Amino acid sequence: MTASHPALDTLLYEVRDNVAIVTLNRPERMNTLGGSMKPDLARAFFDYARADERVRAVLVTGSGERAFCAGADIKERAGNQAAGTDYFVAQKATHDLFRNIEEFEKPVIAAINGVALGGGLEIALCCDIRLAADSARFGLPEIKLGVIPAAGGTQRLPRLVGEARAKELILTADLVDADTALRYGIVSRVVPQAELMTQAFALAQRIAEHPPLAVRFAKRAINRGMQTDLDSGLEYERYAAAMIIDSEDRKEGMRAFVEKRKPVFTGR
């Protein structure tokens, strides 16, 4: 663990081994996206984790057992009234932040320890892999407030679970439990609450042990391929493979395999 970074008002940030742990830390407000949480997230990812060569994976979770993140802080926003044109411009910053987390060059794992609602689920959807506690619940309930999921929910959820299920979840504003989220493909694993961080951290460590360049370009190839046709995806796959074919990590991986020893990867 390291304490070399300045403290953040709404997040806890630490590094264990090769994993950065980002904890949304407003438990008294269900870890809602209020205060300075969005700029704090930007600092944690793009100033701290990106600049630290030790960090090879990021684990995102929430403080306490009630909430991963309950979305927007409605109490903060209730008195705000923005013109549509101003909102359109301002919301671009949120889209950019979430997109940059989605495209972050190091793998990002969400350990969903409680409710993931609205913007909280939209953050989770930006992560590469999502694990959930068996007590977690999921939903995009914005419709009930007269608005829509506008931090990527209307776009990422259909791509993940299909159009019909996404429309049902968004238009009914219903919440689903962890087992339903697993069945829909929102999460890849459901574990007992007490085991969530242990299993999520172990998964992050397993990924962090692999050569960073291969992990980075595999992630990018998958992300690009999901947004395009097969032939374009295959072309990007060739490009990604070519970028790392002469890397030191590839040479080390081959040598270690032949010599029957554990490889030492440097990300070069």
> Where in the chain are the domains?
11-208, 212-259
* 9 pLDDT above the threshold of 80: yes
Residue 85 burial class via C-beta count within 10 angstroms: exposed 0-12, middle 13-18, buried 19 and up: exposed
* 63 pLDDT above the threshold of 90: yes
DSSP secondary structure, 170-204, as one string: HHH---EEHHHHHHHTS-SEEE-GGGHHHHHHHHH
> What is the average pLDDT across 149-178?
96
The sign of the dihedral angle between the CA atoms of 102, 106, 112, 113 is negative
Assess whether 142 carries a catalytic annotation: yes
Q: Which fold has domain 11-208?
A: 2-enoyl-CoA Hydratase; Chain A, domain 1 (3.90.226)
Question: Percentage of the chain with pLDDT > 90?
Answer: 78
pLDDT of amino acid 2: 46
- CATH class of this structure's domain 212-259: mainly alpha
Continuous segment of H or E residues that includes residue 23? strand 19-24
Catalytic residue among 122, 163, 195, 259: 122
Instruction: Provide the pLDDT confidence category of residue 216 given band limits of 50, 70 and 90.
Output: very high
Measured between its terminal Cα atoms, the distance across the chain in Å is 24
The sign of the dihedral angle between the CA atoms of 224, 229, 230, 235 is negative
* 229 pLDDT above the threshold of 60: yes
Instruction: Provide the pLDDT confidence category of residue 76 given band limits of 50, 70 and 90.
Output: low
More reliable by pLDDT, 197 or 74: 197
More reliable by pLDDT, 20 or 246: 20
Total residue count of the chain as it appears in this document = 268
Catalytic residue among 102, 105, 142, 252: 142
Where helices occur in 106-162 by DSSP H, the ranges are 119-125, 153-161
